[in-house]
Chains A and B, each alone.
Chain A
């Protein structure tokens, strides 16, 4: 059974500082996704990582994937208030017709 662990589950950030969210998973997979969810809202796709060593960047967010370590990181550079949200990673379950296993989510609060 594929397990996906995110840490930390809660992250209080100061504006202007850098932080990293980690996503570990338990079995082989080559595809990992990051989503953002604002309170009371739907999930928005941020990044799709499809191979070992993949790196994607959008604004202050950068995601990377190491399939050998079964680890993805979401790095936040110079945090700003607008980045306050819950971030989820999801791993594509191999040979499962596109089924995902989600992590529990990391709630991020950015304060001045």
Chain B
């Protein structure tokens, strides 16, 4: 049971570099989400995709872009990484409203 798979698990970038975080789910869920987790701040929503073909901004979208490639995959791109984007990034998915979101193992990203 893979659930929600995130790659990579760890990454170190230099300021200004770009990278894409990958997320795939095998539960046939409609909705997918990207969060960042910083100490003492809980999880903050970056972008979400309510269904295949749609994406929308969350609470902290600046500096990020997303692509819902198909129903399974939802990627997060940092075009020009900044030290303020050092965080743990979680991808999640859910089947419908009223159901819990299922989380991946996270990507620990450091930007120097």
Those of A33-64 within 8 Å (CB) of chain B = 33, 35, 41-45, 48, 50
Number of residue pairs across A and B with beta carbons under 8 Å? 61
Binds A, one of B15-23, B35-43, B69-77, B79-87: B35-43
B90 close to A105 (CB less than 8 A): no
Those of A70-111 within 8 Å (CB) of chain B = 88, 90, 92, 97-105
Residues of B in contact (CB 8 Å), total 26
Q: Separation in Å of the B28 CB from the closest CB of chain A?
A: 15
Dominant SS among interface residues on chain A: strand
**Assembly CA distance A105 to B88 (angstroms):** 15
Measured CB to CB, the residues of A under 8 A from B are 4, 9, 31, 33, 35, 41-45, 48, 50, 88, 90, 92, 97-105
B101 close to A100 (CB less than 8 A): yes
B45 close to A99 (CB less than 8 A): yes
A99 close to B58 (CB less than 8 A): yes
A-B interface, 5 closest residue pairs, ranked by CB to CB distance from nearest: A97-B50, A45-B100, A102-B42, A102-B43, A104-B42
Chain B residues lying within 8 Å of A4, measured Cβ to Cβ, are: 42
Q: Separation in Å of the B76 CB from the closest CB of chain A?
A: 16
Residue B31, interface by CB 8 Å:
yes
Chain B residues lying within 8 Å of A105, measured Cβ to Cβ, are: 40, 42
Q: Separation in Å of the B47 CB from the closest CB of chain A?
A: 11
**Assembly CA distance A48 to B99 (angstroms):** 7
**Assembly CA distance A48 to B44 (angstroms):** 20
Those of B77-112 within 8 Å (CB) of chain A = 90, 92, 94, 96-106
